[in-house]
Structure 1
Amino acid sequence: MSIAENIKKYTEEISPQATLVAVSKTKPNEDILEAYEAGQHVFGENKIQEMTDKYEALPKDIEWHMIGHVQTNKVKYMASYVSLVHAVHKLKLLKEINKRAKQEDRVIECLLQLKIAEEDSKYGMEGTEAEKILTSEAYSAMENVKIVGLMGMATFTENEAQIEQEFEFLKKQYDKLAEKHQFKYLSMGMSGDYKLALKHGSNMIRIGSSIFGERNY
C-alpha cells in the first residue's frame, strides 16, 4: 500500500476517537508531502534539528509534534513553531519550554510523560510527580506552557495482557488528573499496540513505520 492509502486506512480506523500523529522521523520530505496531500497534517518527530529542517521546507499549516526525549539546550530551536511536546518528564524541561515560548510570544502545549513500561530505557515520571507539578506554584506561574494531558509508552513485548495493564494504569492516572486540570490528550499507542490503546481510551495515536515503511537509519 502507498503512504496515501495507509493514511486513509489509519484515519478511518481511529477516527473520530483519536488523532493520528504520523511519525515521520528519518523520512524524506517527499514522503511527508505524500501523506500531507492525502489529508494528514499532524506529524511527529524525535529530533529537534531534523524537525526544524522539515518545518522550514514544508507547508506551514503542518502541526509538528515533538515526540522524543527533549534536551533542554535544544528547546530554543523549536519554540517558534512546535505545536505539542509529548515527552515532558521533569519540571526543569517545562520551565525551559515556558522561557523559550515567552521569547516567541507563544503558548506551547505539553504532555507529561508517565513511566508505565518495565524497560529502563523508557523515560517518564510517576503519577504522584505529575500531580505535584500540576499543583506547583512554579507551574501556576508559567504563562507560556499549558499541560494538556499525559503520554506513555508500553513495554515492548508480545504479552498483550501486560500492555493492556500498562494502558489501563495510564488511563486511570489520566482520569484522576483530568478532573482537576484541563486535559485534552491521552497519547498512547503506536503501530504495534494502537488497537489496545484505543480500547483503553487513548485519543492520540503515534504511527510511523506502518504508514511510511521501515526506517533507514
Structure 2
Amino acid sequence: MQPEVPPQAVRESGMVSKALGEVLVRVQNVAAHAAVSRPVRLVAVSKTKPVEMLQEAYDAGQRVFGENYVQELLEKAPQLPGDISWHFIGHLQSNKAKAIVKSIPNLQAVETVDSVKLANLLDKAVTEAEWQRKLNIFVQVNTSGEESKFGVDPADVLSLARHVHTECPGLTLSGLMTIGMPDYTSRPENFECLNNCRSTVAEELGIPAQDLELSMGMSGDFEQAIEMGSTNVRVGSTIFGARNYSNK
C-alpha cells in the first residue's frame, strides 16, 4: 500500500520543481558575475517537509539536500534515492553523531561542527562505520556574536580547524559556515567575517583559500552571499514554501 500523501504535498505538487528552477537560475546568474572560486552548490533545505516534496525536487534534478533535525534525516534518507548527497546543517548534539554516520551512508557533510569533542566523535564514527571515504566538515562560526547562536567565536576558528585538519583522519576540512543574524539573514559584515576567517585558516594551515568553501546565505540573502564569495548556499522556504513546525 502506498503511503498517504499529506494534503499539503498534494496542494503544492508541481510548485516545488518550478521554484527550484527559479532559484537555480538566480544562483547561476549571480555566480556568473561573482568572484567565486568554484561552482556554487545549492543545498535544498527540506526541514519539516514531507518526502513527496523532496522527491519532486529530486525528479527535477536536485541532488543535494540539507536537514536541520537528526530525526528527520534518519526518517527521510531511507525513503529517498541513495545518490542524494545529504548535508546536516542543524545543531548536532554529541550523542547523535554516531547515529547519523552509521545510519546515513550518503551523508556528505556536517556543516555545523563547533567543538573538538564533536569533531572527534564524528571522526570515530566514520572509522567505526568503515567508510571508504572521508566525511566533509565545515567549522561553524558565530559571526554575529549572538549568544543564542551556535558556532565558535571567530578568534577560535583556527584552533578547531587545525584540529579537524591534522587530528581527524576520517574527516576533511571542507570549509567554514555561518548562519548570521538572529532572524537568519546576514549582513555584509557577517560574510566579511567568514571570509577573513577563511583567509586566516588557509594561511596558517597552508591550504589554498579556494580549497576552503564558504557556506553562507539562505533564502533571504543567498544572492548577496554569492556576491561575497559563498560557494554553498542553503535555501529552504523559497523552494519548498513556509515551514510547518506544528509537529516539532
TM-score by length of 2: 0.80
Which residue does 2:172 correspond to in 1? 146
User: Secondary structure of 1:110's match?
Assistant: strand
Deviations 1:19-50 (A, max 9, x none): 10000011000000000011111000011121
The 4+ residue runs of structure 1 with deviation greater than 6 A are none
Which residue does 2:25 correspond to in 1? 12
User: Secondary structure of 1:87's match?
Assistant: strand
Displacement of 1:126: 2.2
Which residue does 2:188 correspond to in 1? 164
User: Secondary structure of 2:147's match?
Assistant: coil
Displacement of 1:157: 5.5
Letter in 2 for 1:154: G
2:128 to 103, 115, 131: 103
Distance 2:89 2:181 in 1: 17
Displacement of 1:202: 0.5
Distance 2:16 2:88 in 1: 21
1:48-87 → structure 2 map (5 Å cutoff): 48-80=70-102, 81=105, 82-87=107-112
Deviations 1:68-126 (A, max 9, x none): 00001111111032110000011100000000010112221110001111432111112
Identity within the alignment, %: 35
Structure 2 gaps of 5+ residues are 1-13, 32-38
Distance 1:140 1:198 in 2: 29
Aligned length: 214
Which residue does 1:44 correspond to in 2? 66
* Between 197-206 and 178-187, the greater mean CA deviation after superposition: 178-187
* Between 75-84 and 126-135, the greater mean CA deviation after superposition: 126-135
TM-score by length of 1: 0.91
Are residues 39 and 187 of structure 1, via their aligned partners in 2, closer, same or farther at CA, if it must alter by over 3 Å? same
Which residue does 2:114 correspond to in 1? 89
User: Which has the higher Rg, Structure 1 or Structure 2?
Assistant: 2
Distance 2:167 2:85 in 1: 27
